[in-house]
Amino acid sequence: MNILECLHTESKCYRAAQKAEPVGIVVHSTGVNQKRLSHYVQPSSSDPSREALLAKIGGNRHGNSWNRDVDKSTHYMIGELADGSVGVVKLLPEDLCAWGVGSGKKGSYNYNPTAHIQFEVCEDGLTDPVYFRECYEAAVALCADICKRYGWGAEVIVSHREAHAAGYASNHADIDHWLKKFGTDMKGFRNDVAELLSPPVLPKVGDLVSFTGKVHYTNAGQLIGKACRPGKAEVLRIYRLTATATTKPSRHPYLLRAVAGGGSDVYGWVDADTIGEILTPAEEREAVGKESSGTESSGTESSEKKEASGEPEEDDENGGNGGETEAGEGGAEGKTPEEPLAVGDTVSYAGGLQYRNANAKKGTEGSPGKAELLRIYRLGKSRHPYLVKALPGETEGKFPVYGWVDEEAVR
């Protein structure tokens, strides 16, 4: 993550140079309505990057920063930089003791053997949700970064309030009082850190999954569905899994199709919480994109491998029980400009070369025109990630496209 280093070498804490072997993290907030980092953080007079740091952090004409002879310091501080953005600044090396929590009846998280890495978050009036969210996300990211480097789990993170309750800090309420104002707490904070440490693996197009539901729908927004059996299925499409600034998530974001012998008869849009284990990731099922094979699998267990053109099964992924009948729900016509292309879309092919597989080096000519997007393979990694097939009568030339093409050739 992006951390600005402004070591407080003129602070009393830094000069004490008490060595620390940290075993956890303490999260503080300042308790003062002052969100500007410059109030607390200033570069040392001997810092070779002093002018650049002042430009980023801002100056302090009162001379009351923590980089002086005061009995307090943390390793990091989060707050508002000179340009109004929220930033993270490093004040102390992590192998030096911070003077942040004071002490309790059992000892102190400042010093070994219970020394903790500590950081402050600059409070404002505790009423601005935007500033809170920016600071919160920076704090979560900082904790995740520290935990990754030390091999810790999120359970080693405590607030100053929790440190006091454990007997290793003075009696403060931070940062819990601020979290509570915006509907969260330290448990939620630790959960968010844990998610960054071990992000959930979400199903993607082409994955073979365990479908645990009993209902499927004809489109991604339908209210009434039809009964079906659980079992093994392939993910064909994903539509509006999460909300954006302008759109809500769809009710049933995954389009599934049962595979032969898997026990299910699902062929429709299903709820996210009915997707169980990922049985076989898409990349393990793909037989395309390898120069040695020159063939492409259809993407379903029951399908025969096709020839080098990469032709999948001829099922219409937008028809039958899996079709999208409501305008704007799960279909290409209802896409926002930000939504990526998906299998089954009608696209405009710009013409150029088409290839036998997704990583072939030699291609043949393909004429421009409208085409159906049949497959997407390792977008951003393979040379030619889109498998397209010209629509009848829509080719502007002699060579209807039916092969793998470059990303920029499709729109």
d(CA 223, CA 335): 20
Cα-to-chain-centroid distance, residue 89: 23
In tens digits, what is the pLDDT along the chain, a chain of 411 residues? 799 999 999 999 999 999 999 999 999 999 999 999 999 999 999 999 999 999 999 999 999 999 999 999 999 999 999 999 999 999 999 999 999 999 999 999 999 999 999 999 999 999 999 999 999 999 999 999 999 999 999 999 999 999 999 999 999 999 999 999 999 999 999 999 998 998 778 999 999 999 999 999 988 888 899 999 999 999 999 998 887 767 788 999 999 999 999 999 999 999 999 999 999 988 887 754 443 344 333 333 333 333 222 322 223 333 333 333 232 334 333 333 345 678 888 899 999 999 888 888 888 889 999 999 988 888 778 889 899 999 998 988 888 999 989 988 988
The pTM (predicted TM-score) of the whole model is: 0.57
Question: Do the bridges between strand 208-211 and strand 231-238 make them parallel or antiparallel, or are there none, so unpaired?
Answer: antiparallel
**Residues of 24-46 as b/e, b for ≥16 C-beta within 10 angstroms?**
bbbbbbbeeebbbbbbbbbbbee
Q: Which domains does the chain have, with CATH numbers?
A: 4-197 (3.40.80.10), 201-335 (no CATH), 345-409 (no CATH)
**Positive or negative CA dihedral for 277, 282, 287, 292?**
negative
**Residues of 192-210 as b/e, b for ≥16 C-beta within 10 angstroms?**
bbbeeeeeeeebebbbbbb
What's residue 133's pLDDT?
Answer: 94
What's residue 244's pLDDT?
Answer: 74
d(CA 122, CA 131): 10
Residue with tokens 């509006």: 240
What's residue 79's pLDDT?
Answer: 98
DSSP string, 253-311: -EEEEE-TTSS---EEEE-GGGEEEEEE-HHHH---S-TTT--B--SSTTPPPB-TT--
